[in-house]
Amino acid sequence: MEKLLEIKNLDVDFALREKTLHAVRNVSLSINKGERLGIVGESGAGKSVLGFSIINLISKPGKITGGEIIFDGHDISKYSYEKMRKVRGDKISMIFQDPMMTLNPVLTIGTQMMETVKAHMDVSDKEAEAICLDKLNKVYIPSPEKRLKQYPHEFSGGMRQRIVIAISLLTSPNLIIADEPTTALDVTIQAEIMDLLLELCETENMGLILITHDLAVVSEVTQRIAVLYAGRVVEIGSAEQIITNPQHPYTQGLIKALPQMAGGEKRLNQIPGMMPSLFAMPSGCPFRPRCEICLEKCSKEVPTLTELANGTQVACFMREGGE
């Protein structure tokens, strides 16, 4: 299996006036060609920042301060602006959360699609239009020729997200990063969109990084899952293993908290406490304050990922003995 993207020891910091926040700490993960990886975590865990850092589009004052992002044999985190621009939207496409906010309200769909094609491919207008129509068909939008002349507000939420997906397909990218693609949509539409993404990844042989807080979605669509907590990866493994046999206390808590796991009880299983804010990070393992198990080591050192027998990697001193 060929490695598509490899992130090694990535650090992303936000330099504020009073202090520096470490939004992403020592994150390492990789994704193979055509593979689907899910990145799961709560709000504020750093998953969006991680997603944006892959294409180096972190909002100021955020910056990549350490590590490497190897794509296509090169460390793209060190790319110049112009080189990175050529990668964005071309080899790596991104889908944002809310299509109502993502599509420019004063430009037609056609303009917004054509400009993407023309920015990366040297084709005539006619050829570009043909590509746009082709991709609109792939996302099952009826009468695509008419749609090109319409404005975003003339479409429903689900249709808009399909258009965004179509835009992401225009340059036949190797990797799609989808940041909470269905959170802003109705529940009924969510399933449709996820199915569509799944289908397209398989037929076009694209890699997919799905960033979400929704464990249920991630379990159905992805092949591997990485769990993020307070800017660190605490567990990575195959989707099946993570869901059925979670190793890290946090992941276990997440699985137990799913409504399906409440087992007919009136109350859901919650993890006590809250994820620490970046301003007040505890010493040692970030999950320590909420963990039922707490070894002495846990408050002094930060655990790193170690591989277990079943292929899952976990960052926890408890599990380090292997199982």
Partner 1 sequence: MFAFTIKRIAQAILVMLIISLIGFSIKNAFGDPVRELVGERVTQEEREQIRDRLGLNDPFMIQYGRFLRDALHGDLGRSFFFKKPVTEVIISKAPATLELVFCAALIVILLSVPLGIYSAIHPRRLFSKIVMGVSIVGVSMPVFLTAILLIYIFSVELHWLPSFGRGETVRLFGWWDSGLVTWDGLKHLVMPSIALSSIMLPLFIRLIRSEMMEVLESEYVKYAWAKGIKPWRVWWVHAFKNTLLPVITVGGVQLGIMVAFTILTETVFQWQGMGSMFIESVERADTALMVSYIVVVGFIFVVVNTIVDLIYGLVNPTVRVAGRK
Taking contact as CB under 8 A, which single stretch among the options 116-124, 129-137, 191-199, 242-250 is the one that binds partner 1? 116-124
Question: Among residue numbers 36 through 65, which ones bind partner 1 (CB under 8 A)?
Answer: 55, 57, 59
120 binds partner 1 (CB under 8 A): yes
| CB closer to partner 1 out of 78 and 86 | 86
**What b-and-e string marks burial along 253-268, b requiring 16 or more CB atoms within 10 Å of the CB?**
bbbeeeeeeeeeeeee
Identified binder of partner 1 from the candidate list 11, 42, 90, 192, rule CB under 8 A: 90
Taking contact as CB under 8 A, which single stretch among the options 16-24, 115-123, 268-276, 285-293 is the one that binds partner 1? 115-123
**CA distances for 146 relative to 84, 102, 150, 171, 220, angstroms:** 33, 21, 7, 22, 34
220 binds partner 1 (CB under 8 A): no
Q: How far is the CB of 177 from partner 1 (least distance, A)?
A: 9
Q: How far is the CB of 252 from partner 1 (least distance, A)?
A: 35
153 binds partner 1 (CB under 8 A): yes
Binding string to partner 1 for residues 155 to 194, with x set by CB under 8 A, is what? Answer: ------------x---------------------------
| CB closer to partner 1 out of 8 and 85 | 85
Taking contact as CB under 8 A, which single stretch among the options 14-22, 95-103, 274-282, 289-297 is the one that binds partner 1? 95-103
Q: How far is the CB of 20 from partner 1 (least distance, A)?
A: 19
Taking contact as CB under 8 A, which single stretch among the options 83-91, 133-141, 194-202, 294-302 is the one that binds partner 1? 83-91
Identified binder of partner 1 from the candidate list 89, 249, 253, 284, rule CB under 8 A: 89
Identified binder of partner 1 from the candidate list 11, 42, 98, 320, rule CB under 8 A: 98
Spell out the SS3 assignment of the chain.
Answer: CCEEEEEEEEEEEEECCCCEEEEEEEEEEEEECCCEEEEECCCCCCHHHHHHHHCCCCCCCEEEEEEEEEECCEEHHHCCHHHHHHHECCCEEEECCCHHHHCCCCCCHHHHHHHHHHHHCCCCHHHHHHHHHHHHHHCCCCCHHHHCCCCHHHCCHHHHHHHHHHHHHCCCCCEEEEECCCCCCCHHHHHHHHHHHHHHHHHHCCEEEEEECCHHHHHHHCCEEEEEECCEEEEEEEHHHHHHCCCCHHHHHHHHHCHHHHCCCCCCCCCCCCCCCCCCCCCCCCCHHHCCCCCHHHHCCCCCCEECCCCCEECCCCHHHCC
87 binds partner 1 (CB under 8 A): yes
207 binds partner 1 (CB under 8 A): no
Count the site residues for partner 1 by CB under 8 A.
30
**What b-and-e string marks burial along 207-224, b requiring 16 or more CB atoms within 10 Å of the CB?**
bbbbbbbbbebbbebbeb
110 binds partner 1 (CB under 8 A): no
| CB closer to partner 1 out of 65 and 111 | 111
Taking contact as CB under 8 A, which single stretch among the options 17-25, 86-94, 210-218, 235-243 is the one that binds partner 1? 86-94
Q: Which residues bind partner 1 (CB under 8 A)?
A: 55, 57, 59, 85-90, 93-94, 96, 98, 100-107, 111, 115-116, 119-120, 151-153, 167
